[in-house]
Amino acid sequence: MKLDIIIGFVVGVFAFLMVLGYNVFPIGLLLVAAYLVWTLVLSRQILKNGNGVSIATTAIDFEDIGGQSVAKKELQEALDFLLHSDRMKALGIRPLKGILLSGPTGTGKTLLAKAAARYTDSAFLSVSGSEFVEMYAGVGAERVRGLFRRAREMVRKEKKTSAIIFIDEMDILGAKRGSNVSHHEYDQTLNQLLVEMDGLKAEQGPPILVMGATNRPEALDVALLRPGRFDRQVKVDLPDKEGRVAILKIHTKNKPLAQEVILEDIAHETFGFSGAHLESLTNEAAILALRDEVSEITAHHLHEAVEKVMLGEKLDRKPTAEELRRVAIHESGHALLAEMVRPNSVSQVSIRSRGNALGYVRHYPKDDLYLYTQAMLEEQIMVALAGALAEEEILGTRSTGAAGDYEQALNLVERMLISGMSSLGVTDVSRLNAEQRQSVTKDILAELEERTKTILLKNKPLLIKITEILGEEETLSGDNLRMYLLNVA
């Protein structure tokens, strides 16, 4: 910021002098040259000092990471090559040079790298892929050479037997060559990394293991992924229910939980949450307990925190009475149809504004599902369409509040097309023209709209009653909703 002010001031002075008739071109040229030289010297000094590289003695252990039992087991097996190098040599096993951790953001890839350093008692250097490439030619390649040089120095300095270099955002440094056609510095930097990894031999110095993390493994250059560079690829995926329970137990160790809290119930409601989401959830629950001035975190705080992490903070937005009734009808339509096609699937329905939503229905699956049948996808589409169709059934018109629902429905239809669940059968979707795709999509949605309308019309008294109750209470738990449905029925 200070540099921007100085540059702006200098430019202003030069402009003023030019208006007065002074020839400032020679002085300006000298200043520009001096600035470029100063910046280049500074960048070389950064290379020399190793700025941007984090060197730490990590306190993270594998026991501190929950929900990744398969990834931890696979990683520990690979790390045993560093711990038991003599035994590996006796069997003629070549040491691993690189391990790639891939998976969605927030799943614990960085934590696994830190735990790996402690597990092997290695010197640990951490750097981001975005810190290598700059506007000056050769800077990225020099930083790669300096990184490996510094790793060897740290092994000697800390009296370790090995080093681990962790490169986060690997897809920036290791992107496919030629993808940045206007900036060959990227390719030079990647080439230097490939050369350094090829040169990692035990007889040339202490063993160095390169660990990379990315959530876009498909963007990496194939030369990085071949055996002899990144020898192992460890998938760090979103945790299943048991994994979520383990993560919640870790993050609630230092938090006072009320006796009523059952972490399995919270894990059941958080399908699709990463470890980072779950950590945020427990932290938000503690904040809510602090607001309420209580000494324990209750189940209510945790359920409220789930909604906050998923949808955002409650808003002070005050819809008109007419809007509020329309929102109640819309959400009642979603909730009613969900209970009709997938009983006991609604966790909560509310007409309180959160984030960008005027109201919402929160669902949870009976079990964590990774495969979906055609019937399941059709049911999800029907639930998405039910809000707008409920508005049309009672009020005679639809509203813009269904835009997000339509987007979700179209995404699900696209999934059906790709999976061969349409009238086209198994086909190459990419070869369909816009008219063909639109025709099939329209037919699927029209059929599912009719089925949804039939269910809503048949249960119209229930829909009206739930709308009235929701308008009075604003929020209904899934259990209360089902109780009302049984009583009205």
The residue to which tokens 């699927």 are assigned: 444
CA distance 226 to 252: 41
CA distance 293 to 316: 22
Is 331 marked active-site? Answer: yes
CA distance 110 to 213: 7
CB-CB neighbours of 431 under 10 Å: 7
The type of residue at 251 is: H
CB-CB neighbours of 148 under 10 Å: 22
Among residues 200, 212, 191, the alpha carbon closest in space to that of 99 is found at 212
CA distance 62 to 127: 21
List, as one string, the DSSP characters of 426-475. Answer: S--GGG--HHHHHHHHHHHHHHHHHHHHHHHHHTHHHHHHHHHHHHHHSE
Burial status of residue 29 (CB atoms within 10 A of its CB: 0-12, 13-18, 19 or more): exposed
Q: Which two tokens stand for residue 345?
A: 């699937």
Active-site residue identified among 131, 142, 331, 449: 331
Mapped onto helix, strand or coil, the DSSP state of residue 395 is helix
CA distance 165 to 173: 14
| Strands of 225-276, DSSP E | 232-235
Beta bridge partners of 124: 164
List, as one string, the DSSP characters of 107-146. Answer: SSHHHHHHHHHHHHT-EEEEEEGGGS--SSTTHHHHHHHH
Among residues 441, 463, 325, 446, the alpha carbon closest in space to that of 390 is found at 463
Cα distances (Å, whole numbers) of residue 302 to 113, 345, 358, 382: 30, 19, 22, 30
Q: Is beta strand 475-477 parallel, antiparallel or unpaired with respect to 346-350?
A: antiparallel
Cα distances (Å, whole numbers) of residue 259 to 262, 289, 296, 299: 8, 15, 9, 9
CA distance 354 to 332: 17
Q: Could you tell me if 344 and 363 are in contact, meaning their C-beta atoms sit under 8 angstroms apart?
A: no
Catalytic residues: 331
